[in-house]
Amino acid sequence: MSRPVGHRSGLNECADITGATGWVQQGWASAANTPAIQDTFTFPSPADAARALAQADAGMQSCQAPLRALQIQHGLPADATVARTATTTGASAWQYQWNAVSGMSAPGPQSHHVYLVQHANQLTVLQYADLATAGQTDSATLAGDQQVLTALATRLHALQ
């Protein structure tokens, strides 16, 4: 579905996108009926898309403190952890584990996976969460994240 683009489009609790001129969002549901979302943002130029990737990466890099602040605000132990799990040219993968609060994430213990891929003048963001309440365990390993990120980047670059 095509979505209106505002000055700032929030990706999750930590990262946002600015400067996009177009936004298409696709959603899926897992076998456990949990969501996965792919957002594709279009920018005026490849340089603008690369800046958006750097902005999203910076948001994820500093994500642990805002997640822990949210947990404290909601009376939960501040146990959130964030790590970059994979990289390739123009792309990165992130994972954060936390006892989430309602908002952009479903509440409860989970592992959230974020894949960022810049291709030409677009930035694609694929996100999903493994929720303990849905009986899911963490589905991604470091090697698995690298495989997913590489496959996503290869597929998106092939579409150009």
Residues 109-131 have pLDDT tens digits of 888 899 999 999 999 999 988 87
Examine residue 35 and state whether it is found in any structural domain, yes or no.
yes
Examine residue 37 and state whether it is found in any structural domain, yes or no.
yes
Strand partners, 129: 112
Examine residue 29 and state whether it is found in any structural domain, yes or no.
yes
Residue keyed to tokens 């957002």 = 39
Q: Which domain holds residue 22?
A: 8-158
Question: In the prediction, which pLDDT does 109 show?
Answer: 86
Confidence category of residue 66, pLDDT binned at 50, 70, 90: very high
Question: In the prediction, which pLDDT does 5 show?
Answer: 57
DSSP 153: H
Q: How many domains does the chain have?
A: 1
Examine residue 1 and state whether it is found in any structural domain, yes or no.
no
Q: How large is the average pLDDT for residues 10-32?
A: 85
Entry pTM: 0.88
Q: How large is the average pLDDT for residues 8-13?
A: 78
Examine residue 55 and state whether it is found in any structural domain, yes or no.
yes
Q: Which residues contact 106 (CB under 8 A, 6 or more apart)?
A: 34, 100, 129, 131, 133
Confidence category of residue 12, pLDDT binned at 50, 70, 90: confident
| Contact by Cβ (8 Å): 110, 122 | no
DSSP string, 40-81: EEE-SSHHHHHHHHHHHHHHHHT-HHHHHHHHHHTT-----E
Cα 49 to Cα 35, 140, 149: the distances in Å are: 25, 26, 17
Question: In the prediction, which pLDDT does 132 show?
Answer: 73
Examine residue 2 and state whether it is found in any structural domain, yes or no.
no
Q: How many CB atoms lie within 10 A of CB 35?
A: 13
Question: In the prediction, which pLDDT does 101 show?
Answer: 84
Examine residue 3 and state whether it is found in any structural domain, yes or no.
no
Q: How many CB atoms lie within 10 A of CB 16?
A: 15
Higher pLDDT, 153 or 104: 153
What sign has the CA pseudo-torsion 48, 50, 53, 59?
negative
